[in-house]
Amino acid sequence: MSFKMKGPSLYASPLKNKCSKAWKAWEAGYAKKEGGKAEAARERREFYCDNGKIKLRPSTDLDVPLTDEQIKSRRKK
């Protein structure tokens, strides 16, 4: 027997929902221009979601974006 949920999951993270909405809004800005979807896909790795806000990833001196783990470790210091 399988159950299908109607509506949002009871176990969904509110933070994940905020980020999901933020990413959709961010991508909508790119979708307005020609070739925007491909450009958004290329540039998405340069951004991250922090509590429902899309932010530019910090980078190293070589202009390489930091990973999520590197960003979290910087915050702890």
| Domain ranges within the chain, ordered by starting residue | 14-76
Q: What is the residue-averaged pLDDT of the chain?
A: 80
Per-residue pLDDT for 3 more than 70?
Answer: no
Of 9 and 65, which is predicted with more confidence?
Answer: 65
| CA-to-CA dists, residue 39 to 6, 28, 30, 33, 59, angstroms | 34, 12, 7, 10, 20
Average pLDDT over residues 7-15: 54
Tell me the pTM.
0.64
